[in-house]
Structure 1
Amino acid sequence: MTKQRAFLKWAGGKFGLVEPINRLLPDGARLIEPFVGAGSVFLNSNYERYLLNDVNPDLIDLFNIVKRRPQRFITDAAALFSPLNNNASAYYALRSEFNACSDPYRRALLFLYLNRHGYNGLCRYNRSGQFNVPFGQYLRPYFPQAEIEVFAEKAQRATFTCLSFEKVFRRARKGDVIYCDPPYAPLSTTANFTSYASTGFSLEHQHELARRAAHTAHKRGIPVLISNHDTDLTRLLYADADLHSLQVSRFISQNGASRGKVAELLALYTSPAAASNVVALTPLQRKIAP
C-alpha cells in the first residue's frame, strides 16, 4: 500500500512511524484514535471503520466538512492560496478574521490556509483561545488537493468526534482497537508539558491515559497502543504494557544544528492472556530505562 500523507502539516505527526505502528496494531473491526491529529495512522491503516477524535474543534469541523463536501472545499480553499495572500500583512489579516469568525465553514478554509502559511505548520492558541502562530515566510506554500481528495474518500468510513479522551475510551467495544498519540511527556523533568488546544495535557492526564489503557485492555479485552517519548517517566507509566523503543528523527529545537534522533516508545496493552510476558519484562524495562 502506498503511504499517504495527511493534508495538514502537524507537529509530531506519525507519517514516519506508520510502519512500526501498523506492525503492532492488532486486527479489529474499528480503529479508535482519541488523539487523531492530522490522521496519518488513519490514512495508512486498513480497518473497516474508524472513530477519530480530537479536542480541537477547528480540526474536527474541518475533517467533517472535507468528508461531506470535498470538491466545494477544495475550490474555495484553493482561492486562498494566492501569491497575494503569501505575505505577512495578508497572513495576519486572515488570522484576525479566523479568530473573529464563528462560521464553521469559513473557519475550516482559514484553518487550512493558516496551517500551510504559518510557521512550521504549528497549531497553537493563546489562553483566550486565539490562534497565534506567526507567519511562516514560505516561498510557495503547497496546496494539498490530492491529499484532501484521498482523505475525503477514506473519511466515508470514519466518524469524527470532539470529546475528551476519557469519553472516547467509554465508547470502545469488543472488536475495537485503540491507538493513542497524546501530547508527549517532556524529554526532561525541567521541560514543560506540551500545551495543546486551549488547555494543557498534564502529568495527571498522562497517568489517567495509562490507567485507562491498562483497564481497557486487561478488563475489557480491547487492545490499546500508545506512542510517547521514551523516558523514565513513560516507562514507569506504561509498566504494564509490552514496550517497544525506536529512534525517530525530530526537530528538537528551532536551531537546525539541534536536529537529531529522539527515542520513541510504543506501549502495547493487550488482554492478560496475550500479555503474559509483560510481568516478567517489567523489572528489566525499569532497569534499562534511560
Structure 2
Amino acid sequence: MQPSLFADLQDLRDTADDVPPFRTQLIKWIGNKQRYAEQIIAHFPKTYGTYFEPFIGSGGVMANLVPDRALGSDIFGPLIEIWQCLSDDPDRLKHWYAERYHEFHAGDPKDRYDMIRARYNAAPNGPDLLFLCRACYGGVVRFRKKDGLMSTPLGAHPVIKPEKFNKRVDMWVPRTAGARFERLDYLEAMARAAPGDLVYCDPPYAHSQSILYGAQAFRLEELMEAIADAKGRGVHVALSIDGTKKSGNTYCDIAYPDDLFENEHFVNIGRSMLRRFQMDGQTMEKEIVRDRLLLTY
C-alpha cells in the first residue's frame, strides 16, 4: 500500500518493498534517473553507512532510496540552494515557486519567461532556477559555451500550478529527511566517505554536451582516481556512465583501470531527452539509450 503523504521516514523504509517506485519529480534536470532508480538501487549493498551523491542533480535516486544518512552535493550553487531550501524551509521553497509562477502569468508568457531567465543570468540564484527548470523546453537547462548564460527557451508544456508543486514538496520532504546538502566539488565530497559508506556517482556523460551541466569541471580520469581511492578505503562506489546508444548498437567505450570495478550492469533508460532536444522533438524510435552501472563491489 502506498504510504500516506505525511508518512514518517521510518514508515517509508519499512514499506519500501511494498510501494511502487517514486516518480514524482521535484525539479527537472537533464540525466534524471528517477524513472529508473529502482533498477540502480537493486544493485546497491543491502547495508551501508552514509549515502553520498556528489552529482545530486534532480535527486531522483536518493528520493527512491530514502537513506537514513546522506550527503547530496554539487559545486553548482543555485542547484544546491534549491536542495538546502527543501531541507531547511520547505514553505519558503513553495513561496519561491508560487511567486515566479504568478509573475510568469502576469503578462505574455514568453516575455515573462525571458525576463526571469535574464534576471537569473544577471545573478544566478536558486529561486529563479527552480522555476526555469520546470518551465524551460524539455526540462533541459542549457548553458552557452561562450558566456555561460542559460539559453533554453520556454517549453510548450503547461507549467504546473503552485498547488501541485506544493504537494510535490510535501512528498519530497520525508524522503530527503536523512540528508544534508552542501556545495562541494565532487572530489571533496567523495573524500569524506568512510569505510562501509556508499557513493553513487551520476556525472555528466562523456558523450554529452558539457554545456548542459553548467557546473563542476569534470575529467573522467580524475573521477576514476577518486573512485580507486574510495575503494581502497573500503567505500562502496556505484557509477552510472555511458553505455549504449542507438537502440543498443553503439557501445560507448569508457577507459578505466581493469581492476577498479567488480561488476557491470546495464540499465535501460529509454529515449534520450538530450537527443530529443537536439532534434527539436522529432521521433526518437532509433535513439534507445542504455546506461552502464559499474560497481566496485
Match of 2:133 in 1: 115
Residue 129 (structure 1) shift: 3.6
- 1:229 correspondence with 2:242: yes
Tell me the alpha carbon deviations over residues 244-286 of structure 1, each in whole angstroms, 9 at most, x when there is no partner: 123320233324323431121000012xxxxxxxxxxxxxxxx
Cα separation, 2, equivalents of 1:150 and 1:207: 37
Match of 1:196 in 2: 213
Pair 1:121–1:142, CA change in 2 (3 A): farther
- Which of 84, 88, 99 is the matching residue for 2:121? 99
Match of 2:269 in 1: 248
Match of 1:24 in 2: 43
| TM-score scaled by length of structure 1 | 0.80
Q: How does 1:3-18 map to 2 (within 5 A)?
A: 3-4=21-22, 5-18=24-37
Cα separation, 2, equivalents of 1:140 and 1:208: 39
Q: Which runs of 4+ in 1 moved over 6 A?
A: none
- 1:84 correspondence with 2:97: no
Tell me the alpha carbon deviations over residues 11-65 of structure 1, each in whole angstroms, 9 at most, x when there is no partner: 1100122112111111212110110101001100032100101121101011111
Tell me, yes or no, if the aligned pair for 1:31 and 1:51 is still in contact at 8 Å: yes
- Which of 69, 74, 78 is the matching residue for 1:54? 74
What's the secondary structure of 1:156's corresponding residue?
Answer: coil
Query: Quick one: which amino acid aligns to residue 14 of structure 1?
Result: K
What's the secondary structure of 1:262's corresponding residue?
Answer: strand
- Which of 111, 121, 139 is the matching residue for 2:158? 139
Pair 1:195–1:9, CA change in 2 (3 A): closer
Tell me, yes or no, if the aligned pair for 1:76 and 1:109 is still in contact at 8 Å: yes
Match of 1:215 in 2: 229
Mark the runs of 5 or more structure 1 residues left unpaired by the alignment: 271-290
Tell me, yes or no, if the aligned pair for 1:13 and 1:40 is still in contact at 8 Å: yes
Match of 2:54 in 1: 34
Residue 79 (structure 1) shift: 3.2
What's the secondary structure of 1:12's corresponding residue?
Answer: coil
Cα separation, 1, equivalents of 2:63 and 2:257: 26
Match of 2:246 in 1: none
Match of 1:257 in 2: 283
Tell me, yes or no, if the aligned pair for 1:29 and 1:47 is still in contact at 8 Å: no
Cα separation, 2, equivalents of 1:34 and 1:178: 8
Tell me, yes or no, if the aligned pair for 1:52 and 1:161 is still in contact at 8 Å: yes
Q: Percent identity?
A: 25
What's the secondary structure of 2:42's corresponding residue?
Answer: helix
Cα separation, 2, equivalents of 1:153 and 1:85: 36
Tell me, yes or no, if the aligned pair for 1:184 and 1:228 is still in contact at 8 Å: yes
Query: Quick one: which amino acid aligns to residue 177 of structure 2?
Result: Q
| TM-score scaled by length of structure 2 | 0.78
Cα separation, 1, equivalents of 2:151 and 2:66: 36
Mark the runs of 5 or more structure 2 residues left unpaired by the alignment: 1-18, 244-250
Match of 1:149 in 2: 170
CA RMSD of aligned residues (A): 2.3
Tell me the alpha carbon deviations over residues 184-232 of structure 1, each in whole angstroms, 9 at most, x when there is no partner: 121xxxx75565215653xxx1122123213311x11111000011134
Cα separation, 2, equivalents of 1:194 and 1:133: 11
Pair 1:153–1:199, CA change in 2 (3 A): closer
What's the secondary structure of 1:37's corresponding residue?
Answer: coil
Residue 179 (structure 1) shift: 0.2
How many residue pairs were aligned?
257
